[in-house]
Amino acid sequence: MYKEIKKSVKKRIKESIVIGLFLMMSLSGCISEDESKELVIATYDIYGLSEEMIEEFENQTGISVSMIKLDDAGSVLDYLIKNKGTNDIDLAIGLDNTYLSTAIQQGVLTNHTASNLGEISQVALGPYNGQLAVPFDMGYVCLNYDNNLVDGKNMSVPTSLWDLTEEEWRGKVVIPSPQTSSPGRAFMLATMDYFTSETDRSDTSQFESWWSAMKNNDVIITSGWTEAYEMYYSGGYGETTEGYIGSAHITVSYCHSPGVEAWYSGSNITKSSSLDIPMASFFQVEYISSVMGGDVESSALFIEYLLSEEVNSKMPEQNQMYSVLEGNDLPETSGYLFHSIIPEQPSNLSMSEIGDNIESWLQLWNSAMI
């Protein structure tokens, strides 16, 4: 019997070696990375970071850039939190002032050491002025409407958020979800200020009832800005693209989006206008940050590069956002500047207030909507 057992063990071992080999092949993989300096950037699809621009940086510094493209600012934050302690990521680009405080609270960022920065405007430094994040672009989030239809004749131009809960607007408003989209989140924060500033946030009932009323008025909530603007909004470029529905005549975008439309048309044509309702717009700043555990020196070089006059002044054209450098404005070409407004009275929420309350406010929003 012993002999037989030994033999069969042998046979099985032979079989398992084959399996083992396959496994080894699969597990050993191919991880032999070159040791030249690499800058790992977690970001979402920011058009400001064009290919030419990255190549230029690589040529100047000899550092190779590797980009991890995530869905949006929220995913960038998720990613940073999820990978805390890996020391794999050097730089985060695209956290905005609605996410930055959470990122700081979660301890995923570290002080940057960039020194040679252009002169950043005080406006851009308004929400946050510290070493953990440097602004690189900005803009105001506000309502945009289709001025072909919302012309005071066919449909009246809203002057208060409550107007949107009227029958006239049933099913004609599209808003990206604050749970999954940063413009959506910015707009929800604006509404929070809009409805609660008088009571110092102690009474959120107006906020809740407005959102409930919007829900009852069949507001369309999309997961991201793109769906809202391209598919549902009738006033934007969406109508030339696939999947266009165009059932909504008001959406959340940027106050300068009509300017982008005009500029993009090449001939100063847009049928989209920004709606400047006091307190209903939100000043959004996007940041570039060194990530805890990453290569601070290399990331400082990239921060300096992104904040250089040469690169940052191109933000309006490359990224369709304002440059943060003093003295830069949108170009006047094709009505870009002309159709872009700066809201008279944007909402006023401090970043720390946002950080402390964002989760509970999102919960309030959530319960108002279900």
Partner 1 sequence: MKNIGSFIAVFLYSGLIFIPLFLALNRLIMVTGFYPSIWFNSLENNYISQDILQFTLFQAIFSTIVTLMIGIPIAWMLGRYRWPLESLIRTVLTLPFVIPSIIAAMGILTIIGPHGINIRADEDTWWWTLIIAHAWFNMALVIRFCEPILTTLDPSLEEQLRLLPNGQTRISRFRYLWAPLLVPSITAAACMTFVFSFTSFALVRWITVGNESLESMMATISSSAGIEGYMEFTSEMVLGASIIQFLILLISLWITSIIQRNRKSKIPQVNTKFVKTKNSMGWLIIVPALIFALLPIISVFLGSFRIREPVENEIIFRWSFDAWVVAWRGSNSFPPLTDALINSIGYAIITLCVSLPIGFSLASTISKLEENHKFLSQVLDVFTMLPFALSAAMVGLGVLLGIIKLDIGFLHNFWPLPALAHIMLTVPFVVRIFLPAIRSLDPMYDENAKVLGLKPWKRFFSVKLPLLKSSLIISTIFTLAMSLGEFGASFVVARNSDWVTLPLLIDSWRSKPMKDPFTGPASNVVATVLMLITIILFLFAERYRTNKEGGMF
Partner 2 sequence: MLKCKALSKKFEHILFDNLDIFLEPGEILAIIGPSGCGKTTLLRCICGLEELDSGYIELNGEEITNLKVEERGIGMIFQKPVLYPHLSVSGNLALASKNKHSEALTEVGLSGFEERSVHKLSGGEGQRVALARALLANPKVLLLDEPFSALDNKLSLKLISDVRKLLKKRNCPSILVTHNYKEAELFSDRIIDISLIEN
Contact set for partner 2, span 6-25 (CB under 8 A): 7
Q: Is 167 in the site for partner 2 (CB under 8 A)?
A: no
Output 103 or 120, the one with its CB closest to partner 1.
Answer: 103
User: Which residues within the stretch 198-257 sit at the binding site for partner 2 (CB under 8 A)?
Assistant: none
CB 209 to partner 1: min, Å:
16
Q: How far is the CB of 345 from partner 1 (least distance, A)?
A: 29
258 binds, among partner 2, partner 1, none (CB under 5 to 8 A by kind): none
By a kind-dependent CB cut-off of 5 to 8 A, residue 29 interacts, out of partner 1, partner 2, none, with partner 1
- CB atoms inside a 10 Å sphere around CB 278: 13
Do 241 and 125 touch, CB atoms closer than 8 A?
A: no
14 versus 153: smaller Cβ distance to partner 2: 14
Binding of residue 4 to partner 2 (CB under 8 A): yes
* In the complex, minimum distance from the CB of residue 15 to partner 2, in angstroms, rounded to a whole number: 15
| CA–CA distance, 146 with 150 (Å, rounded to integer) | 6
Tally of CB atoms within 10 A around 161: 21
Cβ neighbour number for residue 298 with a 10 Å cutoff: 19
Question: CA neighbours within 13 Å on the CB side: how many for 16?
Answer: 6
Least distance in Å: CB of 11 to partner 2? 9
CA dist 99 and 286 (Å) reads 10
Pick 10 or 170: Cβ nearer partner 2: 10
Angle between helices 351-369 and 205-216 (to 10 degrees): 40
Buried b (16+ CB within 10 A) or exposed e, 207-234: bbebbebbeebebbbbebbebbbbbbbb
* Choice between 237 and 342, CB closer to partner 1: 237
Nearer to partner 2, 6 or 170 (CB): 6
Q: Which does 1 bind (CB under 5 to 8 A by kind): partner 2, partner 1, none?
A: partner 2
